[in-house]
């Protein structure tokens, strides 16, 4: 799936990602400020959570709960220096928990991400639109 979208179309894009994703581990790629966290906020909302979503830049992981008490994990690996830091928080247990795992900056832990995952790449266009590419892996 490749689409261009505006901020107003975010709810529809988030619904389509959830519907199209063959796996629950979503890996978000894109430059700083491109809208990864904004898209994740909408996905968390569409999954049925009313929790406040913020980037876990310093804690590495945030946990959200849906109305039916399912868990959603949100990772931000931007500030880690090596994959051992991710291993120390038990990232592999989260990735294989059958819960939704939404990871920003997954290139920092490329050897730890599951083969069965979804790659989401976001690119900022000059016209205030974003281009999103979704690819199911594994």
Q: What is the CATH number of the domain that holds 22?
A: 3.40.50.300
Q: What is the domain range of residue 34?
A: 2-137
Number of domains in the chain: 1
Residue 52 to residues 25, 28, 62: CA-CA distances in angstroms? 20, 19, 10
Stretch 24-46: mean pLDDT, rounded?
A: 95
Stretch 30-40: mean pLDDT, rounded?
A: 93
Please report the pLDDT score of residue 5 as a whole number.
86
Contact 133, 10 (CB under 8 A): no
Please report the pLDDT score of residue 104 as a whole number.
96
Q: How far is CA 103 from the centre of its chain?
A: 4
């Amino acid at each position: 799936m490749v689409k261009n979208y505006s901020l107003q179309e975010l709810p529809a894009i988030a619904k389509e990602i959830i519907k199209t994703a063959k796996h629950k581990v979503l890996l978000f790629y894109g430059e700083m400020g491109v809208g990864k966290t904004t898209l994740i906020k909408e996905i968390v909302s569409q999954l049925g959570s009313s929790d406040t979503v913020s980037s876990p830049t310093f804690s590495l992981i945030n946990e959200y709960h849906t109305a039916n008490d399912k868990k959603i994990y949100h990772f931000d690996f931007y500030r880690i220096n090596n994959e051992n830091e991710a291993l120390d928080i038990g990232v592999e247990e989260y990735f294989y928990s059958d819960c939704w795992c939404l990871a920003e900056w997954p290139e920092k832990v490329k050897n730890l991400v599951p083969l069965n995952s979804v790659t989401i790449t976001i690119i900022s266009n000059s016209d205030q639109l974003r281009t999103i590419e979704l690819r199911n892996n594994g």
